[in-house]
């Protein structure tokens, strides 16, 4: 990459390259030179944009979650069933596209500097699910439940499904979303019919 390139490498390019590398090789195994090279700038330039590796990683996560949060914002307000369905689908879809983020985010749980972000992400998602549940119960679409607990479990189930997909590459996202929604709404019990 000649230093006479016409415009500076967009931050997005850098973050995407980093995301690809982090998620395929892991945080520790990804070298700064690789990110720089992959994004088309020099190591030096990379350090002009990000204080250090952690900083880059943090920026990456923020960037990606922002994106995700925006999509999640406009769920159907009046139909809790549909909202939940869409929320699950959205999660799985995003995981397909951003499998990397999620793997980085959830897998590498030993990068302590990520923890605050993780906490925040959980809180937000938990609140969204809880809102859907609350509204669903009010409208008698859902049975009365321990909202916080159930929200946690639903969040967990979605995360688990995503991990399954990422780690084992098992199943097709669409069907998986349906099954998960089916499980979450009806359960497996006989009386559900």
CB environment 109-138: b (16+ within 10 A), e (fewer): eebeebeebeeebeeebbebbbbbbebbbe
70 binds, among DNA, a second copy, none (CB under 5 to 8 A by kind): none
Contacting residues toward DNA, per CB under 7 A? 1-6, 8-9, 28-33, 41-45, 47-49, 52-54
Residue 161 touches a second copy, criterion: CB under 8 A? yes
Least distance from C-beta 190 to a second copy, angstroms? Answer: 5
Quick note: the x/- pattern for a second copy over 95-124, rule CB under 8 A, is: --------x--xxxxxx------xx--x--
Residue 12 touches a second copy, criterion: CB under 8 A? no
Q: Helix, strand, or coil here: 120?
A: helix
Q: CA–CA separation, 192 vs 85, rounded Å?
A: 18
Tokens of 138: 């009010």
Among residues 37 and 81, whose Cβ is nearest to DNA? Answer: 37
Tokens of 52: 């250090």
């Amino acid at each position: 990459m000649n230093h006479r390139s016409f415009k500076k490498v967009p931050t997005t390019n850098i973050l995407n390259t980093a995301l690809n590398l982090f998620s395929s090789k892991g945080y520790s195994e990804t070298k700064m030179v690789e990110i720089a090279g992959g994004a088309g700038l020099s190591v030096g330039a990379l350090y002009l944009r990000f204080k250090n590796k952690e900083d880059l990683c943090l920026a990456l996560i923020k960037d990606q979650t922002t994106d995700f949060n925006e999509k999640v914002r406009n769920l159907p307000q009046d139909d809790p069933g549909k909202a939940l369905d869409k929320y699950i689908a959205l999660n799985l879809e995003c995981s397909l596209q951003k499998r990397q983020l999620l793997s980085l985010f959830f897998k590498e749980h030993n990068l302590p500097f990520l923890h605050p972000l993780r906490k925040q992400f959980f809180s937000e998602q938990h609140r969204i699910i809880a809102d859907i549940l609350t509204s669903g119960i009010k409208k008698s679409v859902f049975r009365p439940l321990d909202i916080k607990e159930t929200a946690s479990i639903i969040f967990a189930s979605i995360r688990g499904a995503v991990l399954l997909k990422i780690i084992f590459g098992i199943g097709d996202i669409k069907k998986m979303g349906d099954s998960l929604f089916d499980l979450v709404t009806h359960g497996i019990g006989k009386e559900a019919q």
